[in-house]
Structure 1
Amino acid sequence: MTVTRPADPPIGGNVDPAFAVVRDAFEANFTPTEGDPGDLGASVHVIVDGRCVVDLWGGWADLEGSRPWKADTLVNAYSVGKAMVAATVLSVVADGTLDLDAPLAGVWPEFAAHGKGAVTLRDAMAHRAAVPGIDRPVADDEVFDFERIAAAVAETEPWWEPGSAHGYHVNTLGHVLGEPVRRVTGRTVGAVLRERFAGPLDADVWFGLPASEHGRVAEVDFVQHVPEEFRPHGGPTRLERMRRAAYFNPEGLSGIGTVNTTRWREAEVPSTNLHATARGVARVFASLLADDGPVPGSLVAEAARTHSSGHDLVLDRDSHFGLAMMLHQDGRPIGTSPASYGHFGNGGSLGFADPAAGLAFGYVINRPGDRWQVPRTRRLLDALRTCLGA
């Protein structure tokens, strides 16, 4: 729902003079263009070689235009959270509690159902576990119960032979990776993220947002209903049923109709309900570039190595993944160089690290676009490349 609102408040924050064109791009993002409504509220944060060079915010944190976006405004950043899950899982691998090449069933026996017993953590992180959607109807209320959704994923018959192909686990990846973390640590992926990254880095990134933080969350201008023809289990072929189930079984797994509710904010739906600031996202990615970060450099390099590329059975187009990280594609660059790794969030949010430039980036918004490559995100990346001489 797009509403008439007052003139935007001024852009806040600071920028290094060498990165002034990034401010220009950020400000331009608030102006609608053909096919894109522009930002309602947003923040962007860039760290280069450990130093903040861009820290900007602007626009509105509510749909009516009465609450200006602030430095500490949180917003649902959707699939940017998959990168936070990846970092968390890698930190657990680093301490020897999980093994990339061990079957998930070793710590999660129920996952072995229907021939999935050989699926490894590496397979799952590479979107090759073959459970991108749940194969039974899921009730709306189940979305808010992490353990019930994880159990439903474990009970699902694989949609293809695991390991033989890849398909974007749009709404299930956080459960497929988060449940092994819970089994071996006794804590949710959100709790481990707070302990190992958010707390030590002073990074505002959350799964399962406590009520004390809800007052600074931005409302999201997001679709509230999916037309009947796009609902799950309606297609004539198994492949079509899989794609619809992946996105819309139930539609609340993507936050449709629930993203601005208290229940959504308090739940852990790790594929899609990260609440974060741009600053928090960038700080986590900066830690992955650091020599003394929570994840050893060798594991970060492994996560940034190609594990799946080519035709994606869920997206029905090419995709490129490392270990739960999106990697560079010519038609949809994830960052400022082909070495970049990170993750887009629905409609334009983005977090990435570029080891070639020593750069970490976070951009979060509350008005998602509807394109595969949102012009606002591309504008910021182009400006950054100009600053870097790329």
Structure 2
Amino acid sequence: MVNYANFDQFGLLYLLMAPLVLQPFFSSLLSPHINDDSVHGYVDEEFHAVRDAFQRNFGEGLEREGAAFAVYRHGRRVAHLWGGFADGESNRKWKPTTRSVLFSATKAIASLVIATLVDRGLIDYEDRVVTHWPGYGQYGKNSTTIEDVLSHKAGVPYLDEDVLMDDVIGGLSLLEKVERTKPLWMPGTASGYHAVTFGFIVDGIVRKVDPKGRSLKTYFQEEIAEPHNLDISIGVEKKEAPFLARITMPSMWEYVRDIFKDPKILVMLGLMHFRFDTIVHRIKENPKWLIANYDTMSLNDPDVVSLPLPAVTGVSSADDLARLFSLAIHGEILSNMTLTTLAEPTLNSWHLEKVTIWPVMKGHGFFYERHPLIPGAFTFGHPGYGCQFVHVDPKSGISLAYVSNGLKTGSGELCGPYTRLLRATYNSIRYI
């Protein structure tokens, strides 16, 4: 999914016209197939195409800073690649353990936490939220189910009150603001991407369901990350923030280049900005301190990246993120019964997405795609702003993760560097 809610509209008008003016120039830049020898890591022999694709991304200038990619198959790591800079300004190179902000790919981690609660019999996807959190039912939210929240049908893409950093740190005051919010539509009747509030609501559910009353961040750390030796967290301690990969935004020229390569990006920009409702504006203003636009990235601020935002501030290396979901689909974290539940979406792509206008298949907190090799099957995972991605394929025994700090103009299917790696992975397993 692509989130351009904070992109300056004047800049957007420039982008709409620039490809027409600069088409001859960029035509000469679209054809090179260059390998780059500065990338590191290894792949199993049958996955050499994955390494080639990763090298091409750097050699063709598609990786402005640094990136990492990891693939697990049948519980075993078959590819782990990294390259470029964790911080280009200071010449700090990307390492195999470099951690980066996951943005909305964090939602996959939050959704895995909910799946473990389902697996342990503490909650059911069809439960009404008020069964566990009575205060949530105010202002017509009484009928909202857990699955409504996870498939973005709760009708709460932003809160009615301002969200302060202290609310997030304290936790309970934030839950009270969630309770007092009126839904924009009747819960369960429509879906609209809950970019940040997804995490607020899911965190509240975890706090109410967990017998120990833990936050989602603490539950994940104590029940999943630490037992499996995973260096993944929802937010980081402020002293760790300088060691994360430093995020940089795309230049204007990158937007132009990528729009020319894939005009669907232009369509997405238009859908996000040339519309008559105010929903996108309200989302980007709530909270005001969470900024991601062409010249500002608030998640480089230790005060922001340290916040426990289960929809945004997940932090991980590509390898640990891929291993997390490898453990999940191979019986270490979830049972086969829960995996069977997760195998298919609950909301197909043929619906009007009220926020992005771009319909995607959703369910259980994940985004779904049709399996590229197996008819009737699905893969699931979650994209993150600027091209982060976690992809899970129980049928093929695959989990993979891509992270980068040089953010791209598109995410998911509109992110060229990631989709190239995904295709290379499936081409590698097609005949093995």
User: Counterpart of 2:392?
Assistant: 353
**1:208 paired residue number:** 235
Which residue pairs with 1:17 in the alignment?
45
Q: 1:52 and 2:77 equivalent?
A: yes
- Counterpart amino acid of residue 288 in structure 1: A
Q: Residue 332 of structure 2: which of 283, 286, 293 is its match?
A: 293
Residue equivalent to 1:325? 366
Alignment correspondent of 2:224: 197
Q: CA separation in 2, counterparts of 1:362 and 1:254?
A: 24
- 1:174 corresponds to 2:199: yes
2:111 corresponds in structure 1 to 86
Counterparts of 1:1-390 in structure 2 under 5 Å?
A: 10-32=38-60, 37-139=62-164, 142=167, 146-185=171-210, 186-211=213-238, 213-222=240-249, 240-253=277-290, 257-290=297-330, 292-309=331-348, 310=350, 311-328=352-369, 339-372=378-411, 373-389=414-430
8 Å contact from structure 2 (residues 370, 378) kept in 1: no
For residues 337 and 75 of structure 1, do their structure 2 counterparts lie closer, same or farther at Cα, with a shift above 3 Å needed? farther
The letter for the 2-side match of 1:199 is E
Deviations 1:279-318 (A, max 9, x none): 111011102211x322222222222322122221111121
Deviations 1:66-91 (A, max 9, x none): 10011111110111110100111111
Moved more, 96-105 or 157-166: 96-105
Please name the residue that 1:227 is paired with.
Answer: none
Q: Compare CA radii of gyration and give the structure with the larger one.
A: 2
State how far apart, in whole Å, the 1-side matches of 2:343 and 2:408 are.
Answer: 27
Instruction: For residue 308 of structure 1, give the secondary structure of its aligned residue in structure 2.
Output: coil
The amino acid of 2:178's aligned partner reads: V
Give 1:215 deviation, angstroms: 4.5
Structure 2: where are the runs of 5+ without partners? 1-35, 252-268
Using CA pairs under 8 Å that are at least 6 residues apart, name the structure with larger relative contact order, 1 or 2.
2
Q: Is the 8 A contact 2:37 2:55 kept in 1?
A: no
Aligned AA (1:386): N
| Partner of residue 6, structure 2 | none
CA distance in 1 between counterparts of 2:375 and 2:175 reads 35
Distance 1:308 1:25 in 2: 33
Alpha-carbon distance in structure 2 between the residues aligned to 1:336 and 1:271: 31
The DSSP-based 3-state class of the residue aligned with 1:201 is coil
**1:250, distance to aligned residue in structure 2 (A):** 2.4
**TM-aligned CA distance change 1:89 to 1:253, over 3 Å:** farther
1:5 alignment counterpart: none
Deviation at 1:127, TM superposition (A): 1.3
- For 1:281, give the aligned amino acid: L
Q: How big is each residue's C-alpha offset from its partner over 1:9-63, in whole Å with a ceiling of 9 and x where there is no partner? A: 9322211111111111112222456xxx534111111011111110111110114
User: Which residue identity is paired with 2:278?
Assistant: R
Give the secondary structure class of the aligned counterpart of 2:298.
coil
| Deviation of the 1:97 alpha carbon | 2.2
SS in 2 for 1:13: strand
Q: Would you say the 8 A contact 1:144–1:269 is kept in 2?
A: no
Q: CA deviation at 1:164?
A: 0.8
Secondary structure of the structure 1 residue equivalent to 2:67: strand
Q: Distance in 1 between matches of 2:408 and 2:151?
A: 26
Provide the aligned length of Structure 1 versus Structure 2.
Answer: 366
Which amino acid counterpart does residue 198 of structure 2 have in structure 1?
A: L
- TM-score of the superposed pair, with normalisation by structure 2: 0.78
Q: TM-score, normalised by structure 1?
A: 0.86
SS at match of 2:69: strand
- Counterpart residue identity of residue 121, structure 2: G
Q: CA deviation at 1:212?
A: 5.3
Output the amino acid matched with 1:361: L
Change (3 A) 1:12 1:389: same
Name the stretch that deviates more: 171-180 or 208-217: 208-217
CA distance in 2, matches of 1:126, 1:60: 36
Q: CA deviation at 1:378?
A: 0.8
Identical-residue share of aligned pairs (%): 27
Give the 3-state SS of the residue equivalent to 1:60 in structure 2.
strand
Instruction: Measure how far apart 1:337 and its partner are.
Output: 9.7
Aligned CA RMSD, in angstroms, stands at 2.8
User: Does the 8 Å contact 1:343/1:352 carry over to 2?
Assistant: yes
